[in-house]
Structure 1
């Protein structure tokens, strides 16, 4: 089974129990590091995620994954917050974090750049507008290869 297929299956299985707990599923990763596989589930909620939230969801997910057994090999389950520089995966993430600084990677160059750092100013339809050093730049969502918040200090 491919890594992408495992991620899709796990997302479908765990999303309901995470939503029922008042949290949001931010991302799922299934990666091999060294000789071990890791299933990482990233959560968020208004006000942030705490250790107790991670423990609660980890227990629920662990039980669900043991019951359904969608992953053939052994792995370590890690449940955590996505951190200050959380990924922006959905169009609604850009809307939610309007006004925040973000780092965006695009599939094709936009105005000569494939890596852009700017402040999210608006989301209209399927496009996101950023303030990049005082210049407005609009990027179609389908061109976003990767995006994450950028911590400001």
Structure 2
């Protein structure tokens, strides 16, 4: 089962040293995972796409059915 704490841990590990920080993680009852990230100079779409791939790879089969959305409050 996917939990907010598990997603936070994965995101924090991947963002370490990038200058990007985690803003929020949201989980819905329908299987939607929303990860919001930011940094002072702004987040690029490529940053969101890279993190999305990394999280998806980490979750693999354990994630079951889910929809992952990685974004920034500014995007």
How much does 1:83 deviate? Answer: 3.2
Is 2:74 the partner of 1:83? Answer: yes
Residues 51-88 of structure 1 show CA distances to partners (whole Å, capped at 9, x for unaligned) of: 11111111111111217x2x4x411010000238xxxx
34, 52, 55: which one aligns with 2:46: 52
Taking the aligned partners of 1:65 and 1:22, their CA distance within structure 2 comes to 23
More contact order relative to length (CA 8 Å, sep ≥ 6): 2
Residues 12-41 of structure 1 show CA distances to partners (whole Å, capped at 9, x for unaligned) of: 122111223331011100113xxx420011
Cα separation, partners in 2 of 1:60 and 1:28, compared to 1, 3 Å: same
Aligned Cα RMSD in Å?
A: 2.2
How much does 1:11 deviate? Answer: 0.7
Q: Which residue is equivalent to 1:13?
A: 10
Moved over 3 A (4+): none
Larger helix share, 1 or 2: 2
Q: Which residue is equivalent to 2:32?
A: 38
Question: Taking structure 1 as the reference length, what is the TM-score of the superposition?
Answer: 0.43
Larger strand share, 1 or 2: 1
Q: Which residue is equivalent to 1:120?
A: none
**What is the number of equivalent residue pairs in this alignment?**
75
Cα separation, partners in 2 of 1:30 and 1:64, compared to 1, 3 Å: same
Larger radius of gyration: 1
Taking the aligned partners of 1:18 and 1:61, their CA distance within structure 2 comes to 11
Taking the aligned partners of 1:81 and 1:14, their CA distance within structure 2 comes to 13
